[in-house]
Amino acid sequence: MARFLRLLKIYRVANRYRLGELFANFGQARLLSWLLAFPLPAAINLKSLNRGARLRMALEELGPIFIKFGQLLSTRRDMVPEDIADELASLQDNVTPFDEQQAVSLIEIALDDSIDNLFGSFSPTPLASASVAQVHTGTLKNGEEIVVKVIRPGIEKIIDQDIALLKTIAHFVENNIDQGKRLRALEVVKDYDYIIHDELNLVSEGANATQLARNFEDSDLLYVPKVYWEFCRPNVLVMERIYGIPVSQVEELKAAGINLKTLAERGVQIFFTQVFNHSFFHADMHPGNVYVSRNTPETPQYIALDCAIIGTLSKDDQYYLAKNLLAIFKRDYRKVAELHVECGWVPPDTPVNAFEATMRSVCEPIFQKPLKDISFGMMLLQLFRTASRFNMEVQPSLVLLQKTLLNIEGLGKQLYPDLDLWENALPFLEQWQKERLSPLANLKKISEKIPEWLEALPEMPELIYETLQEVKYYRQHTVSLEKEKSVIEAMKVAKRKRRHTGFAITALVAAGLSLHPDISDMLTQRPAATLILATAGIALLFLRK
The reply to whether 304 and 397 lie within a common domain is yes
The pLDDT of residue 501 is above 50: no
Catalytic hit among 78, 162, 193, 284: 284
Phi-psi region of 344 (alpha: psi -120 to 50; beta: other; left: phi over 0): left
The reply to whether 143 and 156 lie within a common domain is yes
The pLDDT of residue 455 is above 80: no
Provide the number of structural domains found in the chain.
4
Q: Which pLDDT score, from 0 to 100, does residue 542 have?
A: 44
Helices marked H in 38-153 — which ranges? Answer: 51-62, 64-75, 82-88, 100-111, 115-118
Q: Which pLDDT score, from 0 to 100, does residue 519 have?
A: 46
The reply to whether 236 and 254 lie within a common domain is no
| Ranges 38-42, 343-347, 361-365: which has the least confidence | 38-42
Q: Which of 437, 459, 488 is the last residue of a domain?
A: 437
Q: Which of 210, 242, 274 is the last residue of a domain?
A: 242
More confident residue, 448 or 367: 367
Helices marked H in 201-314 — which ranges? Answer: 202-215, 250-255, 260-272
The reply to whether 53 and 20 lie within a common domain is yes
Task: For 308-325, write each residue's pLDDT tens digit.
Answer: 888 888 888 888 888 888
Q: What distance in Å separates the CA atoms of residue 213 and residue 523, rounded to the nearest whole number?
A: 36
Q: What distance in Å separates the CA atoms of residue 231 and residue 240, rounded to the nearest whole number?
A: 12
> Which pLDDT band, with edges at 50, 70 and 90, does 418 fall under?
confident
Helices marked H in 343-459 — which ranges? Answer: 352-367, 376-387, 396-415, 421-437, 439-456
CB atoms within 10 A of CB 350: 17
Cβ–Cβ under 8 Å, residues 306 and 205: yes
The single-letter code of the amino acid at 188 is: V
Q: What distance in Å separates the CA atoms of residue 141 and residue 231, rounded to the nearest whole number?
A: 12
The reply to whether 487 and 429 lie within a common domain is no
191: annotated active-site residue: no
The reply to whether 418 and 272 lie within a common domain is yes
The reply to whether 142 and 82 lie within a common domain is no
> Which pLDDT band, with edges at 50, 70 and 90, does 150 fall under?
very high
The reply to whether 408 and 274 lie within a common domain is yes
The reply to whether 391 and 251 lie within a common domain is yes
pTM to 2 decimal places: 0.70
The reply to whether 373 and 350 lie within a common domain is yes
Domain with 520, as residue range(s), is: 439-544
Q: Which pLDDT score, from 0 to 100, does residue 226 have?
A: 97
Mean pLDDT value of segment 443-458: 68
Q: What distance in Å separates the CA atoms of residue 31 and residue 36, rounded to the nearest whole number?
A: 9
Q: Who's near 400: CB < 8 A, 6+ residues apart?
A: 75, 283, 309, 311
The pLDDT of residue 500 is above 60: no
Q: Which of 184, 212, 242 is the last residue of a domain?
A: 242
Q: Of the ranges 150-159, 180-189, 386-395, which is most confident?
A: 150-159
Task: For 28-77, write each residue's pLDDT tens digit.
Answer: 444 454 455 555 555 556 667 888 888 888 888 887 777 777 776 776 66
The reply to whether 182 and 129 lie within a common domain is yes
The reply to whether 403 and 443 lie within a common domain is no
Task: For 73-106, write each residue's pLDDT tens digit.
Answer: 776 665 677 788 878 877 755 567 889 999 999 9
